[in-house]
Homo-oligomer: A and B are copies of this chain.
Amino acid sequence: MSLPRLLDGLLVLDFTRVLAGPFCTMILADLGARVVKVEPPGGDEARHYGPMVSERSTYFASVNRGKESICLNLKDPRAQALALRLAERADVLVENFRPGTLERLGVGYERVVACNPRIVYASVSGFGQTGPYRDRGAYDVIIQAMGGLMGITGPETGEPTRVGTSVGDIIPALYTTVAILAALRQRDTTGQGVRLDIGMMDAVVAITENAMARYWASRTSPRPIGNRHPAITPFSTYPSADGYVVVAAGNNTLWQRLCQTIGRPDLADDRRFATNDLRTVHVDDLTRELSATLSTRTTDEWIEVLLAVGVPCGRVNMMADLATDPHLHARNMIVELEQPGLGPFLTPGTPIKAPGFDDILTRPSPEFAQHTSSVLREVLGLDEADIAGLRAARVVE
C-alpha cells in the first residue's frame, strides 16, 4: 500500500493554461489532490511551447505532472453543462483566463456557485478581477517589471534585470495555492465556498520585502546593486579560479575567521573593515581585496576550507550541477518521470517534505485528452455509449 499524501481525496477542476494557473494545480497534484485539467480543442497553448521533443512540449511537461486531461469544447452548451456537473462534485475550481472569459464560456462564478455553493473558486489573472488595469494583458516580463522586482534586480550599473525563471507567474501561483488551502479550511468550518481573486502584479509587489521599507525610510527608490546585500558585507559572489564562490560572513566573528582562513589576516586588522557597517561603506575596496585572493583557487577548494571553519559559503549551480547534486538526490528533489513520448524526463521534485507522507513523484503530465473517458465515467457516471455520442457530436475530444 502506498503512503498517503496531505491532500488525498481533494477534487480540483482545473481550467488553467500556460504557467500561473498550472503551477498552482501542479502543487495541489503533488500533494495528492485529484486534478482534472479541462483543455479546449487543440489543448493548452503551452503544449506548443518549445523545446519540443518527439512532438511533445517539454515546457508543458514541466508544469503539468500528476494531472488528468480531458477536452471539453466549451463553445458548445452541452460541454458547458458537463463542466458544471463536474464543478458540482469538485472541492476547488482554478482558472487563469483574463477576467470575464470563463463567464463567456458558461463556467463563470455565478453559474458554478449556483450548482455548488461549497466550492472554492480561485481566479488568478494579471491584475485581478477589480481595479483600473483589470482588462490588460499580462505576461511574466510585464509583471516582473510593473511589480517592482525588475527595478531592484541587476548589476550596479542600474540596468533593470528580469529574473531568469518566470517568478511573475510562479509567485502568484504560490499565493493562489495558499489562498485555496486557507479557503478550504474556512469552507470546511462554515460549509460556504469562497471566491478568490489573485492578481499577479499584487503578488509580486507583496514580495518586494524590505525594498519598500528602504524607500519609506529614505524616500529614495532602491536601485539594483548587483549580487551584494544592501546592509551585510561580505555577502556576495566572488570570482574563483574556475567560476564563482559565494561568501556570506554576516558578523564580525565570521569576518575574522574568513580573513584568517583565506590567508589575509591584514584584512582582519584593516580599520576600513572593522565593523559590518564600515565594510558596507567600503564595499568596493573590500570586494577588490577579496576577489584578488579568492580568484587564486578553485570554487571547490574554497568551499572545502571555508565549510571546515563554519563560514557560510556555496557555489553557483547550473542545471547540470543540480541534476547530479548529492543533497538534492538525498531529498528526492531530482525526479525522472516516465513521460509518454519523452521517456525518463528530468524535473524538480516537491519541496514539501512531511515524514510519513509520500514525496516521490511518479505520475507524468497527461497526453492531450488522455482521461476524457475515464473522468466522465468515474466522476459523472456516464457509460461508453454516452461518451461515444458526445465525442461524435464534438462536444468532447
- Interface on A for B, CB 8 Å cutoff? 4, 6-7, 9-10, 19, 23, 27, 31, 49-51, 53, 58-59, 61-63, 127-133, 136-143, 145-155, 159-167, 170-172, 174-175, 177-179, 181-186, 188-189, 194-199, 201-203, 205-219, 221-229, 231, 235-237, 244, 246, 248, 250, 307, 310, 312-323, 326-328, 330-331, 333, 345-357
CB of A152 within 8 A of CB of B132, answer no
- How distant is A127 from chain B, measured CB to nearest CB, in Å? 6
Number of copies: 2
B248 near A328 with CB under 8 A, answer no
B207 touches A165 (CB 8 A): yes
- A224–B133 alpha-carbon span in the complex (Å): 31
Bound-state CA distance A61–B212 (Å) is: 11
Docked-complex contact A161 and B170, CB < 8 angstroms: no
Are B355 and A136 neighbours in the complex by a CB distance under 8 Å? no
The 10 closest A-B pairs by CB, nearest first: A152-B164, A181-B181, A215-B319, A221-B318, A137-B312, A202-B351, A153-B164, A58-B213, A174-B174, A142-B314
Contact A322-B205, Cβ < 8 Å, known A58-B213, A186-B6, A196-B354: yes
> Looking at the complex, which one of B9, B155, B171, B347 makes contact with A174 (CB distance below 8 Å)?
B171
B63 & A227 in contact (Cβ 8 Å cutoff): no
**A278 to nearest B CB, angstroms?**
13
Once the chains bind, are B327 and A213 in contact (CB under 8 Å)?
A: no
| One of B58, B188, B212, B330 near A210 (C-beta < 8 A) | B58
Q: Can you sample 9 A-B contacts with CB below 8 Å? A: A51-B218, A146-B317, A147-B317, A197-B354, A202-B349, A202-B353, A205-B322, A205-B333, A215-B320
